[in-house]
Chains A and B, each alone.
Chain A
Amino acid sequence: MLNMTQLLSGTYPMLHATSQLDAIWWDDPTLTNYSQDILRLLSQKVGVSVIRDTTSITLVQGQATYNAPVDFLDTIHIYLNGLILRPASTQQLERLDPNYQITQASSNNPIKYWYADKIGPNKIGTYPVSDASNAGFTLEIIFHAFLGCTLTPTSQIVTPVAIQDFLQFALLGRAYNDESDSRMLDVSAVSIRLANIYEHLLDVYYGDAQ
């Protein structure tokens, strides 16, 4: 569990303060913003958060593309009625069917592919497009998600506690690197390198999602 209250209360003494009241250069919103940035970067590098979503995308007849789920980073697998859809590119689909964004599915041509390129960020498309028989079904998506996009100073996120410890050191590394009279580059460097140990382990244990 990542507990921001606990994290911040443990961070201020390491910033030579007792709380944000006497931490001249930092406060809760600043450290929380730093934490958001760090966690977003971690999510992209390690892929620690893998989520299965079965409610965000409901097929609509004739609709080619859909919005990806909240905090979507990248897709691992997409299923329709338990069957996996194959990833494809728009270039492949254009060669397969010039009207790939219009052609509706049929019994002879069921929905088989998904694509995400050239349709904007956080969008997922299917080929063929849903017909009436598929309308109403939801896509099952397993995807990498961002961590901590809506982090607040009191957030609690269900995640291994090692991420809180990683965040502790990465936060120190970021805070002591601020352009200010409190800048301590040696502490920042060592803190970041401690955080790298956690990042390495997080990658080893959680980074191989397939």
Chain B
Amino acid sequence: MSTSVPWFIQFQSPIAPNPSVKGSVVGGSITDLPPVSLLGLFTFPTLPWLASWHNYVTTQPNPDVKAPPFSFPVGSVMPFSTLQWLAVWQSYVITQRPLDIKAPPFSTSYPQQQPSIPALVASGAPPSAIALPPDISLIANLLRQPAIAPFSVIPTPPPPVTDTCILLVGDLITRILKRLDDDGTYYTPNQVLYALNIAQRLWCFMTLELEKTVTFNILANVAYYKFSSQVSDLIIPLKVTYTNFTTNVQTRLRATTLHQLNMLGPWSQTIVDVNTPTPKRYAFNGSDLLAIFPQVTSSDVVQLTYAAFPPTLIGPGDSLAVTDENVDPLIDGTIYILRLPEGQAELAHVEENFSRFLMAAQKRATYMRNKMKSQNYDMLPSDFDFYDKSWSTGAALTPVTNQTPGQQGGGGGGQKR
């Protein structure tokens, strides 16, 4: 093999949806042992798993040098710093290289797997395929590719997976009208869209399903902020972190209350000192007020992870913000909202729809609560297991007298950590 011909390694998992991991391996020389440099470049398709690559290098005449394990999140390209580190191996021999692809413990869909991939032996003629143990069945294909200069070209990531289950707003409106036995005359598409938006917002409000992480600007000598000045769709903050780009250390701000901050003295006038140059705590009051302690001495940012309201659906080409499996409960909720003003028998007939919506939301909220607990978020979705839902059935047939909002309703525990 000439030194100008790199190798292309591809790994494909047998586990649905059968992701493939491929990278271009550029070597100064494969057959010349040891090669001068070796680069590995991997892109991973979007999956809920984390891969770590343990690489063992045999150098001559030095004893085995074990490369430290490194990991890279889903969808990322191996950082160049790692590539550069790989490049300095002077005596890299592609022999006896076990590759461990491990799924993280929290990934229930992709259980732990620890294959031992036999050596990729560089010999005169590159093998077209390598037999792998059946437990993982990763297939590595060494293919010749045109020369790729080191550090200069990032391989094109694989195309995104097409979601064939997605339903656009136009489809949803059509289906909802069909279930209502209407052709858009009595319930106009705009009315259906309005109800669908309410149902989706209620869903996200109950389950906190939609999470976002954004940078939030913090100013010098300022302790109080309004979330609404920078974030328009916040429900509640879940986590606030601060990254010191000088030391490359990320710290998590602890959730606290103004009352606790008051015990620290004139906290709103305390600025970060040079010895501990990071904000440490934050307090969230009402729906918009944010306090950060201590203040920074120059403008900076924090990373805010929060539960978000979904974007407003506007046209038939828009798609829901919730996951596909939750579309049916949303349809049920929309139908209930549309039928609500009819009253009597028509309302009674759709009580079951809303029960399904509530049950699905409850189930989703439970899932999100467990997920957020594992991530140690500062707030959790409310637990509707303890909420009195007995009114949701039969209420249409129960006569009531004058009532004021807020003077009824069962108890129910929310959870704040």
Pick out which of these stretches binds chain B: A100-108, A109-117, A202-210. A202-210
Residue of A nearest to B351 (CB): A190
Known: A160-B287, A165-B198, A201-B414. A186 touches B347 (CB 8 A): yes
Partner of B288, one of A142, A158, A174: A158
List the B residue with the shortest CB-CB distance to A49: B286
In the complex, which residues of chain A have a beta carbon less than 8 angstroms from the beta carbon of B285? 50, 76, 142, 209-210
Q: How far is the CB of A151 from chain B (nearest CB, A)?
A: 15
Number of inter-chain CB pairs below 8 Å: 172
A133 within 8 A of B: no
B window 253-275: CB within 8 A of A: 257-259, 262, 265-269
Instruction: Tell me, yes or no, whether B50 is within 8 Å of chain A by CB.
Output: no
Q: Does A191 contact B (CB under 8 A)?
A: yes
When the two chains form their complex, are residues B340 and A191 in contact, meaning their CB atoms are under 8 A apart?
A: yes
Q: Smallest CB–CB gap between A49 and chain B, Å?
A: 6
Instruction: Tell me, yes or no, whether B249 is within 8 Å of chain A by CB.
Output: no
Beyond A76-B285, A168-B198, A188-B400, whether A14 also contacts B405 by CB under 8 A is no
Interface size class of A (residues with CB under 8 A): 35 or more
Q: Is A131 an interface residue (CB 8 A)?
A: no
User: Quick check: A186 and B402 within 8 Å, CB to CB?
Assistant: no
Chain B residue at smallest Cβ distance from A82: B266
CA distance A199 to B414 in the complex (A): 12
**B406 with A47: CB separation less than 8 A:** no
A-side residues, CB < 8 A to B, are 1, 10, 13-16, 38, 41-42, 45, 47-52, 76-77, 79, 81-84, 140, 142, 144, 158-162, 165, 168, 170, 172-174, 176-177, 184-201, 203-206, 208-210
Interface of chain B: mostly helix, strand, loop or mixed: mixed
Can you show 23 pairs from A to B with CB atoms below 8 A apart?
A16-B341, A48-B286, A50-B289, A77-B262, A84-B262, A159-B287, A160-B234, A160-B235, A173-B405, A184-B341, A186-B344, A187-B340, A190-B347, A192-B403, A192-B408, A193-B392, A193-B395, A193-B409, A196-B406, A198-B205, A204-B415, A206-B236, A209-B258
Contact B266 A172, beta carbon cutoff 8 Å: no
Q: A81 CB to closest chain B CB, in angstroms?
A: 7
CB contacts (< 8 Å) of B194 on chain A: these are: 10, 13
Residues of B within 8 A of A1 (CB): 232
B413 shortest CB reach to chain A, Å: 8
Tell me the dominant secondary structure on chain A's binding face.
Answer: helix
Cβ-defined contact, A200 with B412, below 8 A: yes
For residue B229, which residue of chain A has the nearest CB? Answer: A158
In the complex, what residues of B have CB within 8 A of residue A168's CB? 198
A52, A186, A192, A198: the one contacting B289 at CB < 8 Å is A52
- A205 and B381 alpha carbons, distance in the complex (Å): 9
Tell whether B145 is near chain A: CB-to-CB under 8 Å.
no
Most chain-A Cβ atoms within 10 A of its Cβ — which of B233, B234, B402? B402
Residues of B with C-beta under 8 A to A188: 400, 403
- Min CB gap A146→B, angstroms: 12
Question: What mask results when residues 211 to 253 of chain B are scored 1 for a CB within 8 Å of chain A, else 0?
Answer: 0000000000000100010001111100000000000000000
Q: Would you call A210 and B259 a contact (CB within 8 A)?
A: yes
